[in-house]
Amino acid sequence: MARELAGTDRRERKFTVTVASPSECKRVLSIEISKEEIEKAEAKALASFRRDLKVPGFRKGKVPLKYIEKNYGTVIHGDAVQNLLPAVYEDALVREGIKPVGEPKFENLKAEPGEDVSVDIVVEVRPELELRDYEGVKVKVSKRVIGDSEVDETLERVRQQSAVFVVVDREVREGDFLLIDYAPLLDSGEIDRAKVTRNYPLDLSTGSLLPELREGLLGMRIKDEKDIHVEYPRDFPDREMAGTSRTIRVTMKEVKDKRVPDLNDEFAQQLGKNFADLAALKERIKEDLDKEEEKRREHEIEEMIIDRVIENNPFEVPEAMVENYLTSVLEEDRQRRPNVPDEAARENEIREHFGDVAVRTIKKFLILEAVRKQESIELTRDEVDSKIDEISKDGGVKAEEIKQYFKHPERRRSLENELLDKKAIEFLRQNADVKVA
């Protein structure tokens, strides 16, 4: 469908464009620009070039045009084409109603001086979805019954979290919490004073300590000093230490004994005035676990519904959208783990692990967007304001800061999209055939 973009175009550029669709998410814009347009662009490039050109014997900006054309004609032609292509590309997108995702790829450029210029521009676009079979999808989910064992496990975690650490004057035992000073020893047997670490906390209840260190600490007392030889495994996070061994001098500063409260009515009463006894605490834990299970089950139902709709509506996902998703995951990982030993290997691991997740996440986003469109799902201003008020109340003293936060147009728009997606999910959920086993 070649169209002459002249006269009606806001810049009156003369070119033709033909659009091909080699796949659901790809468009190839084959553009041909008339040599008259190239000549106009060359005239602008020539004038710009002349203003900045310095040639001995001529004042700046006064070099003869014929001299420039003869000696710099190829450069000026290249600049003209380089300047014109992005503008023509933007005009072609507007004319053809194409909204690309990601950056364009310019291919098969033919730009000989004195001739028409032709180029193929490859872009990715969102798939045009017209969903079918998204109502009445059948899903089956299992219901996990919360029993006494789950309640007891949670109660034990609460009990352990309520433990207190008491400083004791005795030998170090398993499960103690310690405070130590340590430093590596030099070949001379003296400590490396440049690497002294003071008041370092150690929890002997964890399994992450090096075995030689754990063994060496057991039996020490406050103010004891001891040299402990440790072997660092090859996969040790600190690359400098990985695969090496060294002797460190440890000074015991503090030994704390973990005191866990007894499970009785008094323990329950200490957790809150609403708990008259241990039975009341267990009942509350059971209620909370039931709510968590219901929430988990509802989330599983929603995700299963989305998966069924994806199965009923197979479509491609633009590579640019997948790449954007993976780039954001990589950036988050770098912020959380800035000192990864092998960053290239870590990036490959993330790309491999999150590749399918990225595709599925984007498909879910596009499907919910299509549901909103096909079902004319909308949002009122009052609904958005009501949600902001709800969030503000949960924020307590920062309520006004939260309201100010959502006054920013982009943040408000993000919240609106979140609420619209929630409405779309609710629509799918209400119209699904759900069985709970």
What are the pLDDT tens digits along the chain (437 aa)?
Answer: 444 443 334 456 889 999 999 999 999 999 999 999 998 888 888 887 777 677 776 667 677 777 767 777 788 888 889 999 999 999 999 999 999 999 999 999 999 988 999 999 999 999 999 999 999 999 999 989 999 999 999 999 999 999 999 999 999 999 999 999 999 999 898 999 999 999 999 999 888 889 999 999 999 999 999 999 999 888 887 777 888 899 999 999 999 999 999 999 999 999 988 899 999 999 999 999 999 999 999 999 999 999 999 999 999 999 999 999 999 999 998 888 877 777 888 899 999 999 999 999 999 999 999 999 999 999 999 999 999 999 988 777 678 888 899 999 999 999 999 999 999 999 999 999 999 88
Sorted by sequence, the CB contacts under 8 Å of residue 401 that are 6+ apart come out as 395
* Residue whose structure tokens are 């033909």: 18
pLDDT of residue 207: 82
124 beta partners: 26, 101
Angstrom distance (rounded) from CA 231 to CA 211: 9
Angstrom distance (rounded) from CA 158 to CA 175: 18
pLDDT of residue 13: 82
Give the tokens for residue 219.
């039996």
Buried/exposed code over 233-247 (b: 16+ C-beta within 10 A; e: otherwise) = eeeeeeeeeeeeeee
How many Cα neighbours within 13 Å face the side chain of 255? 19
Give the tokens for residue 41.
């662009």
pLDDT of residue 413: 95
Angstrom distance (rounded) from CA 16 to CA 21: 17
pLDDT of residue 5: 40
pTM over 0.85: no
Give the tokens for residue 8.
């009606």
Angstrom distance (rounded) from CA 90 to CA 93: 5
DSSP secondary structure of 121-135: EEEEE-------S-S
pLDDT of residue 2: 41
Give the tokens for residue 295.
């929430």
250 beta partners: 182, 226
pLDDT of residue 241: 82
**CA nearest 322: which of 262, 292, 368, 366?**
366
Taken in order of first residue, the domains within the chain and their CATH numbers are 3-125 (3.30.70.1050), 164-259 (3.10.50.40), 276-436 (1.10.3120.10)
Which segments of 18-64 does DSSP mark as H helices, in order?
35-52
Angstrom distance (rounded) from CA 49 to CA 63: 10
Task: For residue 349, count other CB atoms closer than 10 A to its CB.
Answer: 13
Q: Contact 123/92 with Cβ under 8 angstroms?
A: no
Q: Contact 349/399 with Cβ under 8 angstroms?
A: no
Task: For residue 98, count other CB atoms closer than 10 A to its CB.
Answer: 14
Task: For residue 292, count other CB atoms closer than 10 A to its CB.
Answer: 12
Angstrom distance (rounded) from CA 384 to CA 117: 51
Which segments of 56-147 does DSSP mark as H helices, in order?
65-96
Beta strand pairing call for 433-436 and 26-33: unpaired
pLDDT of residue 52: 67
